[in-house]
Amino acid sequence: MEVKVIDGFGITIDVALVNGYLSVGDKILIAGQEGPIVTQIRRLLIPESNQELRTTNQYQNEDTIKGARGIKIVARGLEKAMAGLPLFVARQTDEIDFYKNEINIMLKTALNSIQLEDKGVYVQASTLGSLEGLLQLLKASKIP
């Protein structure tokens, strides 16, 4: 998942839908800088034919998207969304608390895997997954 600002849409998230389906109106949960974010899909966008999601600014609106596909999601409250962790769909109200707990566990695990040192290089990455990968590479190379 990536977080991007798109003219005309505001803050959006790019998601690789691997299995299942998403529909406009679905409640989704994603990791945020201050904990889980619960929001509702307002628009589902796919790139025009023969275009990549990351390189185009021309999109088609869809009500439902099924199967494996790169999609852009427009929803409220994405300002503090954290890229690199999964998105969950709560189709039942009782799933919201379950997925909030799952996101909290994932966030805690990811953040606890990052160990700060007094000396060493400053590392910054656009996603949590990229940051973890870069830190592992530096650790394997014995770079503090």
List, for the chain, all residue ranges whose pLDDT scores fall below the cut of 70: 49-57
SS3 at position 37 = strand
Residue 29 pLDDT = 97
- Tokens representing residue 26 in the block: 């679905």
Question: Beta 88-90 vs 27-32: how paired, if at all?
Answer: antiparallel
Which pTM was predicted? Answer: 0.78
Residue 101 pLDDT = 97
